[in-house]
Amino acid sequence: MYRLKGKIALVTGAARGIGEAIAHAFLNEGAIVYLSDINDELGFNTAKKLGGSAQYVRLDVRSEQDWRSVMDLIVSTHGAIDVVVNNAGITGFEGGDLVHDPENASLEAWRAVHETNLDGVFLGCKYAIKAMRPRGVGSIINISSRSGLVGIPGAAAYASSKAAIRNHTKTVALYCAEQGLRIRCNSIHPAAILTPMWEPMLGNGPDREARMAELVSDTPLRRFGMPEEVAALAVLLASDEATYITGSELSIDGGLLAGSAASLRAEDA
């Protein structure tokens, strides 16, 4: 039984990583999926690789005109949209700028991260609501982060933007309920998920496994999470099994936020 059979979905930042995994999982559950990104070559190749009803559309989440165009395309083609996953995001480190602490980060770098991560989610929610309103039902899924729940000294803009996504999700959920709409909005907060972002730190040498173990040493499960595990949670939120879940924040972090997994020693008691 396909859990998303016939649903029309848009996933932003879907050319690779968590976005690609979510698109793949949605397709496997019977959805028609539009993958969007600004890396056109990779996006087209990913859609081709996934096959089925996967289609690639260019969408710069910072552009309101792009959002209008893509939503108009989807609605005019299918009559509606059922699921929007606002996944596209950046850390700010992509261009080699390693200074993102609250004292030394530049205003330009701060704004660039918020423009993609927060403005992109704001526009995604705005145009999702407009497209879903005629039928009055749908699911909006915003990908936040563990960094939206705790402070990150060396990534001030990233942490700030992800925290804002968490709160805006709740605002959207309450607004839709207030409007009498069955449009749900929830946020997912991944941490230590093995995506291409980690590759520069892991490398491909003989010490790769040791580096992986070191990087996840503070995670109770002592391993990276996989994009497919985040995608499974997105499938739940997109499905009709979750019609009473809205305004929620769901962490998928291997127990990282639960606390230390170290056993209690007698001398500590």
Exposed/middle/buried for residue 251 (C-beta within 10 Å: 0-12, 13-18, 19+) = buried
CA 156/CA 99 separation, integer angstroms: 10
Choice among 127, 158, 175, 244 that is catalytic: 158
* C-alpha angle 235-239-240 in degrees, rounded to nearest 5: 160
- Residues paired with residue 36 on neighbouring β-strands, in sequence order: 57
> CA–CA distance from 96 to each of 93, 109, 121, 157 (Å)?
5, 11, 24, 15
Asked if 68 contacts 59 with a C-beta cutoff of 8 angstroms, the reply is no
Asked if 250 contacts 236 with a C-beta cutoff of 8 angstroms, the reply is no
Helix/strand/coil for 111: helix
CA 104/CA 240 separation, integer angstroms: 46
Asked if 7 contacts 83 with a C-beta cutoff of 8 angstroms, the reply is yes
32-37 and 55-58 strand pairing:
parallel
CA 155/CA 110 separation, integer angstroms: 10
CA 116/CA 112 separation, integer angstroms: 7
Asked if 150 contacts 105 with a C-beta cutoff of 8 angstroms, the reply is no
State yes or no: is 34 an active-site residue: no
Per-residue DSSP letter, 193: B
Which residues are the active-site residues?
158
